[in-house]
Structure 1
Amino acid sequence: MTRTLVAAQSKSAGSALGRYVLVRFLLIIPTVFILVTTVFVLMRATGDPITASLGGRLTPDQLAERIHAAGYDRPILVQYWEYLSGVFRGDFGMTISDNRPVVEVLTEYGAATLELAGYAVLVALVLGVPFGMISAYFRDRLPDAALRILAILAYATPVFFAGLILKLIFSVWLGWFPVAGRISTNGEIELRKADADSGFVLLDAIRTGDPAVVGDVLSHAALPATALGLLTAGVFLRLVRTNMIGTLGTDFVDAARSRGVRESRLVTAHAWRPALIPVITVAGMQVAMLLVGAVLTETTFEWRGLGFQLSEYLQARDFVAVQGIVVVMAVVVAVTNFLVDVVAAFVDPRVRF
């Protein structure tokens, strides 16, 4: 009887998880559709992309010829349908300023942005989680007050300003880290010798087997990763602190405390795991902030990723390229949120119901 009941409960939990994952996955479709439509409408609000990018540099006849060749003189619904069909085929059109397939731009520079975002998440976790635990442990005392102030400063300071301050202190004044770029010229030469060109320079540096090249890559990544990671580290610190304080007041922690377990042991062994559940949930929402922050961070440090290219195309008023990059970033955010929701459902069964 007991085995039957356990099996039934396990089957029910499994079906609930399956339904939850399926629903969350299906929600990606309308989310992406709405995002693509919104970006298309906003990009067309100022007129056709050819006029926006090349207006004033071509004669009226040349401009009309380019507009007709690109199909921007057709009804807006026809343009929308063709664009939507192209997106689902993986075709985002051709850039106007440099006449390249947008997909080529995405594949060439996308790895750099993903690499920077990965570094930033690592910085956020390394700083946010331990300091959140320390803040909870010293609740309402001086270390707690100091860390809360630092957390507020971390997520309230604009990313580009944090980047400029870090460059000024650690690159210009102290000379500890490079000012800009992803790798030095000598490092690029070593990568070419090793025929390593995956787009992820850290992986390529590891493939060379030269610790100096790996160190070169990490030294270039330190400041931009810190500038971008501080934004999320402040959020993580406050979340971990708040939830750990709540966890420290639960019955199972009180029971451990009554058995004589030290307060530091309660924090490091009993309370920190439940406090991480909200961090996992919020991590998905932080991806959007990281991608937005990547535009400013990459521009500040000349980190040639999608954010840097997006700023370049915005200055050139190349709305075809801008449209493609923004749509891909939006899709990445939607998919990441789905994956985070799935992880949260595995960690916390309450999420499934």
Structure 2
Amino acid sequence: MPTPAPAAAAPKARRGLGGLGRYILVRFALIIPTVLILMTVVFFLMRVTGDPITAAQGGRLTPEELAARRAAAGYDRPLIVQYLEYLGNVLRGDFGTTYTDHTPVVRILLTYGAATAELVVYAVIVALALGIPLGMIAARRRDRWPDAVLRISAILAYATPVFFVGLLLKLIFSVALGWLPVAGRISNRGELAMGQILNPSPFYLLDAIRLGSPELIADALSHAILPALALGLLTGGIFLRLVRTNLIGTLEMPYVDSARSRGVREGRLATRHALRPALIPIITVMGMQIAMMLGGAVLTETTFEWKGLGYMLAQYMQARDYVAVQGIVMMLAVIVAVSNFVVDVIAALIDPRVRY
């Protein structure tokens, strides 16, 4: 009676695949209510102190001109009607036009969103490059002086305000030593050289590579080092402690003890046997860390005049241009929601226990 075994195995495989597919669909479906809730909250909170035209132009126009502009823009209608109209425009891809500089919000998102994405990528690279190897060192030197020094450094890294770290890095490496640029994404000469590209992308490093200019590549990277360090150190400290804690736990697992009894060296045990399970918690929290980075990007971009969404958000908030603020916040919400979705899918593929 050998035939029933394959028949029993097939439904089990189908159930596993269905569980993963259902998990991915549910996580993807959660993106829509997440963005919708945040967009709704931002819309109504922005109007607690009045309509956008009054907030942006209230002291510059006469009461008659202000009333005329409010009526023309439809801000004299009930708030729920304004919300439904705004929601319909967003679904059509129309995020409105700013009141301060009359720029379509979509253009702002496309122009400056790439700069923020570029900075976050640099910061993630810094966080992983520092957090994973230093966390491994701390785990392997558990309760010794290297472990103590690294743990204190990790606490300082994620407890120190990002703008203070940025100012400190500027004072040391830009003002005192003169090694790196003080601010900006690229030098004025580099920006002029970028004008030679017929179809430029919003990513300066990519355009520098397309031009094949080592000087431009070095220029773009040198401007990114300090902002990436300021933003990446925060998450790097968290990764360090996560890797340390989970690697210590994994090194005490029975299968690692079995490999140790066979004479496998401690370094190989850590890198080949224990590291991958220890990295799973890092992957699961990566989405939250990207959200933290986007929050820190506002301060980092302002500190280094890195003209991304965070920098523009600070500028438009000072100008009380609520239309621009709504569009930028919603874009940041989409980035965070999509990042969490991608991280959850990767975690589900790596760890079969992650299922609904």
TM-score (norm 1): 0.98
From 135, 138, 141, the equivalent of 1:138 is 141
Deviations 1:60-97 (CA, angstroms, capped at 9, x unpaired): 01111111111110000100000111111111111011
Residue 271 of structure 1 pairs with residue 298 of structure 2: no
SS in 1 for 2:93: coil
Per-residue deviation, residues 270-298 of structure 1 (Å, max 9, x unmatched)? 11111110100100011111111111000
Within 5 Å, which residues of 2 pair with 1:130-279?
A: 130-195=133-198, 197-279=200-282
Q: Which residue of 1 aligns with 2:328?
A: 325
Pairing partner for 1:298 from 293, 296, 301: 301
**Distance in 2 (alpha carbons) for counterparts of 1:72 and 1:256:** 70
**In structure 1, what is the equivalent of residue 100 of structure 2?**
97
Cα shift at 1:29: 1.7
Q: Secondary structure at the match of 2:69?
A: helix
3-state SS, counterpart of residue 97 of structure 1 = coil
Are 1:12 and 2:7 matched, yes or no?
A: no
- Cα separation, 2, equivalents of 1:262 and 1:237: 23
Unaligned runs of 5+ in 2: none
TM alignment of 1:52-131, pairs within 5 A: 52-131=55-134
Q: Percent identity?
A: 67
For 2:143, what is the secondary structure of its paired residue? coil
Query: Partners in 1 of 2:6 and 2:172 — Cα distance?
Result: 65
CA distance in 2, matches of 1:89, 1:289: 29
* Whole-Å separation in 1 of the counterparts to 2:18 and 2:56: 53
CA distance in 1, matches of 2:80, 2:351: 45
Deviation at 1:192, TM superposition (A): 1.1
AA partner of residue 302 (structure 2): T
| Contact 1:205–1:214 (8 Å) recurs in 2 | yes
> CA offsets, 1:93-148, max 9 Å, x none?
11011111111111111110000000000100000111111111111111111000
Deviation for aligned residue 1:4: 3.7
Query: 4+ residue stretches of structure 1 with deviation over 6 A?
Result: none
Q: Deviations over 1:35-82 (max 9, x none)?
A: 111111111111101111111111101111111111110000100000
Whether the aligned pair in 2 keeps the contact of 1:244 and 1:275 (CA below 8 Å) is yes
Q: Is the 8 A contact 1:196 1:207 kept in 2?
A: no
Task: Tell me how far 1:196 sits from its aligned partner.
Answer: 5.2
- Match for residue 334 of structure 1 among 334, 337, 342: 337
Q: TM-score, normalised by structure 2?
A: 0.97
SS in 2 for 1:100: coil
CA-CA distance at 1:5 after TM superposition: 3.9
Counterpart-to-counterpart distance in 2, 1:196 and 1:239: 43
Q: What's the counterpart of residue 31 of structure 2?
A: 28
Cα distance in structure 2, aligned partners of 1:40 and 1:53: 16
Q: How many angstroms apart in 1 are the aligned matches of 2:7 and 2:176?
A: 70
2-structure distance, mates of 1:294, 1:13:
39
C-alpha distance in 2 between matches for 1:81 and 1:99: 23
Gaps in structure 1 of 5+ consecutive residues: none
